[in-house]
A and B are shown apart, each in its own frame.
Chain A
Amino acid sequence: MSAAQKMTYRDACRLALQEAMQQDERVFLMGEDVGRYGGSYAVSKGLLEEFGEERVRDTPLSELGFTGAGIGAALGGMRPIVEIMTVNFSLLALDQIVNTAALLRHMSGGQFTVPLVIRISTGAGRQLAAQHSHSLEGWFAHIPGIRVLMPATIEDARGMLAPALRDPDPVIIFEHAVLYNSEGELPAGFTGVDISQARIRRPGRDLTLVAWGGCLPKALAAATTLAQQGIECEVIDLRILRPLDDATLLDSVRRTHRLLIVDEGWRSGSLAAEIAARIAEQAFYELDAPIARVCSEEVPIPYPRHLEEAALPQADKIVVCAQAMVVQCPV
């Protein structure tokens, strides 16, 4: 049993990559500036020295090309990990992800599978302005044929890559850029995580609070504040954006009878909308209050700090929204 280890989310991601490449010769990392530069978020720093240029492969600026090459290499027996610097750039590779990776198994009648892992950083909070700050993971969660993961904890950042590489189908892992510097403890005796179920990060009886990725710490902070006011939130870390774990959500809502969803994506057509619809479909008669959402405001994420903060879900917004669901307001 290993002892508990303190580390950053970035370290956890790096350790996962390192372990994957040590354990399986077929695994290699490919993307813009993953090698010499050390990764734009320094996740792959040091890996080039350990594994060499063949396996830590710097690519030209051609997301469509190298993502497609990752698909081909996966078909050819390798286990590529493609890194796309930020989710806004993933749009340049969308054709290969949606039209090829996600469809190949179906179109070939099950003859070909694409064991590809794509890592993409996402999210706002560091004043990078509109073209580097969006949260488009909900779009990918729309596509049948791919699995979409979003580690929000040190444990998941460390543990999700291994099962993703074992999945015979394409898996996208979204890493929230604000989390890279967050510190936490990898529990003693850590043996890995599943990539199929949502997880309750804090139990509670009054209200179910669902969040993922960069919104999880905000939801947990809100739950602490609400507990001081006598409102006990059950905080669920969604973890897997596709396929959605309806059972864990339903089970919680059947106990708390209230649901609040926090999503850094825009409200319209969001993953939060999908979750709300599923709960309304399957647990309408369990609800004791309308389902509520705290999402990003419908603007491109602005550059100045105060506007960026105003545009994003925040703990205080979650608190106000939760209070309105539970406490009587003067009519």
Chain B
Amino acid sequence: MTIDQDPQLASLFENAEEEFSDEIFTTRVMSAVDNRRRRSIIGWVLSGLLLAFCAWFLVLILQDAVLVLAQILPETIIDMDNGLAAQLLAPVNSVSGLIGLGALALWAAFKKLF
């Protein structure tokens, strides 16, 4: 009993304590524990399968995208016959060069505005 307790009420609480049978309750708790564990294992397995499926699905899409990009990016924009001019302008005379220049221009504009 703590110092600020009413002794009569404290005694009432002591006397009101009840008996509980332990076995049924313990079995119930442990079967709930097992159910939870089973559910969590099933959850992990399903998540793993879903993840594997997504990865497989995405890999196919990514592979296709990489192939398309690999074909498009080196494409020249203007066909040039002159060998020297073609070599000098080669870094910017392609889809990748154009995208790079576009990105640089956007970045410069963004810096200027903000």
Q: Do A and B bind each other?
A: no
Residue numbers of B with Cβ under 8 A of A are none
